């Protein structure tokens, strides 16, 4: 049986001598290169001074002392089989057919013939790890030439070749594996399962190495904003540095104004697909107001009534009647003005001047859209002293099917949520009433708005919709009923804002939009302080002596009873009937939710009892 051969070429020499000792014990012929060979010689493995190979007359005596019965051992440099010296300051050592044919040869007659004709022996074990590129580029002010010197060529090729042929060759790229490898070798042979695991680790090693190199050169050469974009900071100011980048294409957006932060982009890149899908599903312009990676509001451009214009504070916007996009954003922002404060806006169509005028009046951090009319862009660029974030999205961009994220050092991957939500195909499975007619168009529209909004809302989530817009959304709650209550309370607050008392407030001259929103929220939520400085501060928003009377419990009950035809969607099943009872109190007549709860039948029964149409939505829509 031919003597086994191992090639050793390592930067990290941890455990190298113990490994060499173990290989020698198993009568494995060692071929080493560069500093690896040097370390072995200096440790008592003398090497002949010949350019092409070295032998150790003293080694036999040393090894026979260590391993009785071992009479002869030859330790040679890689150049002994390449018949070429290391050159170019060591940059070329192992790149040679004599090395790689020996590694890549399979147990095939044709391969055996080729090897015999070229007098090349098979290589059985490759021990190799790479230059510390990551450590080098982590240094302050590292130069490109310094980084380039740490780009391993021969080592990567050795590892990749051995890992490719792992059905026959064992590749060790991690010194932590030396002990187990030698234990297996002592038992006779390295098992197939181990060779597979070593190969996986080797491929991961080279992939991580290449990723570090591409990351370094992307930062140097790609140009900020092309494939890589430096961010102000991460989720918090102390989390620096931060960046956004792509690996297989250019960034799908351009920064036209301002400087994005990490959370800005999380909001923008969740909000954009929401409005894109919503617009495509319903054939209307769509808008979303995003905060902390969930929509505060989302809507399509259904025409606004005069009272809606007043409630949403857009009655003075010139050109509003002719801009579906402006009407969509007025609805999205107006759904929950408190949550929308400081939002990131997503718009499905080119931004026109009426839409920009609304944005210019609101406290907002940024906007993403596929384009901007020149006068609209000029207006937006003036916002926040020129620091307002304006992103232009490539509307033709389609993200890869696979998503990957890293959490606490662990990579998680999944197929992107590409579930299609449409009024024509998603809401056809009516459970109760059993003899129900097909859903009316407004119900289909509003269920579509609510369900697509949930697809991009942090779970658990429940969404109420009416008139083509979100009117209440509960996001990120651990309990489904708390989602339902939170969203329902927001829907109630939204409806109370249409009460004549709330639409005829006598504001003090100079009152700011944010102060008005806060004052209305206290009034419509039923939490106006009874007395004290907080009550005085609230009353100070209005003309002297004209602060409105808080709503009584009966007044709230009577007005909320008028809310009707509301649609609600849930990102997963309703586990208990309390959810159905709660939505009914906010005028809900249509529910869409996945099924699968043990209490499904009870929920269906309560819905039928309360006059609610319950539709099975077949796709769970968790989003994290």
**Of 190, 154, 188, the residue nearest 172 (C-alpha):** 190
Beta bridge partners of 316: none
Contact between 574 and 597 under an 8 Å Cβ cutoff? The reply is yes
Beta bridge partners of 345: 289, 367
Q: Give the Å distances, CA to CA, from 77 to 3, 64, 266.
A: 16, 21, 54
Contact between 426 and 448 under an 8 Å Cβ cutoff? The reply is yes
At a CB cut-off of 8 Å and minimum separation 6, what does 375 contact?
353, 356
Q: Which helix (H) or strand (E) holds 339?
A: helix 337-340
C-beta neighbour count of 274 within 10 angstroms: 23
- CA distance linking residue 447 with residue 464, whole number of Å: 8
Q: Nearest 5°: phi and psi at 90?
A: 90, 0
Residue 292 is among the residues annotated as catalytic for this protein: yes
- CA distance linking residue 336 with residue 510, whole number of Å: 23
**Catalytic site residue from 164, 254, 482, 516:** 164
**Of 158, 389, 155, the residue nearest 266 (C-alpha):** 389
Beta bridge partners of 399: none
CA angle 151, 155, 159 (to 5 degrees): 125
C-beta neighbour count of 375 within 10 angstroms: 12
- CA distance linking residue 115 with residue 121, whole number of Å: 7
- The tokens 């899908």 sit on which residue? 277
Q: Which two tokens stand for residue 125?
A: 């074990």
Ranges of H-type helices in 370-440: 374-381
Residue 164 is among the residues annotated as catalytic for this protein: yes
Burial 301-332 (b: 16+ CB within 10 A, else e): bbebeeebbbbbbbeebeebeebbbbbbbbbb
- CA distance linking residue 613 with residue 596, whole number of Å: 18
Q: Classify strands 5-9 and 125-128 as parallel, antiparallel or unpaired.
A: parallel
- CA distance linking residue 31 with residue 4, whole number of Å: 11
Beta bridge partners of 556: none
- Phi and psi based region of residue 408 (left: phi greater than 0; alpha: psi -120 to 50; beta: remaining): left
- CA distance linking residue 453 with residue 462, whole number of Å: 9
Beta bridge partners of 342: none
CA angle 13, 82, 198 (to 5 degrees): 40
Q: Classify strands 29-32 and 5-9 as parallel, antiparallel or unpaired.
A: parallel
**Of 431, 414, 345, the residue nearest 613 (C-alpha):** 431
**Catalytic site residue from 55, 219, 292, 482:** 292
C-beta neighbour count of 50 within 10 angstroms: 12
Q: Would you name the residues annotated as active-site residues?
A: 164, 292
């Amino acid at each position: 049986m031919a003597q086994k051969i191992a090639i050793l070429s390592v930067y990290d020499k941890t455990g190298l001598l113990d490994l060499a000792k173990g290989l020698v014990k198993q009568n494995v012929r060692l071929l080493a290169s560069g500093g690896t060979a040097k370390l072995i010689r200096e440790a008592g493995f003398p090497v002949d001074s010949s350019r092409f190979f070295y032998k150790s007359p003293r080694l036999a005596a040393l090894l026979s002392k260590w391993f009785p019965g071992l009479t002869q051992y030859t330790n040679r440099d890689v150049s002994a089989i390449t018949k070429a010296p290391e050159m170019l300051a060591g940059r070329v050592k192992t790149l040679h057919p004599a090395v790689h044919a020996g590694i890549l040869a399979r147990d095939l007659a044709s391969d055996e013939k080729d090897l015999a004709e070229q007098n090349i022996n098979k290589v059985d074990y490759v021990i190799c790890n790479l230059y510390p590129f990551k450590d080098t580029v982590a240094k302050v002010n590292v130069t490109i030439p310094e980084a380039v010197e740490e780009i391993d060529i021969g080592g990567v090729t050795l590892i990749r070749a051995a890992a490719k042929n792992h059905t026959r060759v064992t590749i060790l790229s991690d010194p932590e594996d030396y002990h187990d490898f030698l234990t297996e070798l002592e038992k006779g042979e390295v098992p197939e399962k181990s060779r597979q695991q070593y190969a996986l680790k080797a491929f991961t090693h080279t992939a991580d190495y290449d990723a570090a190199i591409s990351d370094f050169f992307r930062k140097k050469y790609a140009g900020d904003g092309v494939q890589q974009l430096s961010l102000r900071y991460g989720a918090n100011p102390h989390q620096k540095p931060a960046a956004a980048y792509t690996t297989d294409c250019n960034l799908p957006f351009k920064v036209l104004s301002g400087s994005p932060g990490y959370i800005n982009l999380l909001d923008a890149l969740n909000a954009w697909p929401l409005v894109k899908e919503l617009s495509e599903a319903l054939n209307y312009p769509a808008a979303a107001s995003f905060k902390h990676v969930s929509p505060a509001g989302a809507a399509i451009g259904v025409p606004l009534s005069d009272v809606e214009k007043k409630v949403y504070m857009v009655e003075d916007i010139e050109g509003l009647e002719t801009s579906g996009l402006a009407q969509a954003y007025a609805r999205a922002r107006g759904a929950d003005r408190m949550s929308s404060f400081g939002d990131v806006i997503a718009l499905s169509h080119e931004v026109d001047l009426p839409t920009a005028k609304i944005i210019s009046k609101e406290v907002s951090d940024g906007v993403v859209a596929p384009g901007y009319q020149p006068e609209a862009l000029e207006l937006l660029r003036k916002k926040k002293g020129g620091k307002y974030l304006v992103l232009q999205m490539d509307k033709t961009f389609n993200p890869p099917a696979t998503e990957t994220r890293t959490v606490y050092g662990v990579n998680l991957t999944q197929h992107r949520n590409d579930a299609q939500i449409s009024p024509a195909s998603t809401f056809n499975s009516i459970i109760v009433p059993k003899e129900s007619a097909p859903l009316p168009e407004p119900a289909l529209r509003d269920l579509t708005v609510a369900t697509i909004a949930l697809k991009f809302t942090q779970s658990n989530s429940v969404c109420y919709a009416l008139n083509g817009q979100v009117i209440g959304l509960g996001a990120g709650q651990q309990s489904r009923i708390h989602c339902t209550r939170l969203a329902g309370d927001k829907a109630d607050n939204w409806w109370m804002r249409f009460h004549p008392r709330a639409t005829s407030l006598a504001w003090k001259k100079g009152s700011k939009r944010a102060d008005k929103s806060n004052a209305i929220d206290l009034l419509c939520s039923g939490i106006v302080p009874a007395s004290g400085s907080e009550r005085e501060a609230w009353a100070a928003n209005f003309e002297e002596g004209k602060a409105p009377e808080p709503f009584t419990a009966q007044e709230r009950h009577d007005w909320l009873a008028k809310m009707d035809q509301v649609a609600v969607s849930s990102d997963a099943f309703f586990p208990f009937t309390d959810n159905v009872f709660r939505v009914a109190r906010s005028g809900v007549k249509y529910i869409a939710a996945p099924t699968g709860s043990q209490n499904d039948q009870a929920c269906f029964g309560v819905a039928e009892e309360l006059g609610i149409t319950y539709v099975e939505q077949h796709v769970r829509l968790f989003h994290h």
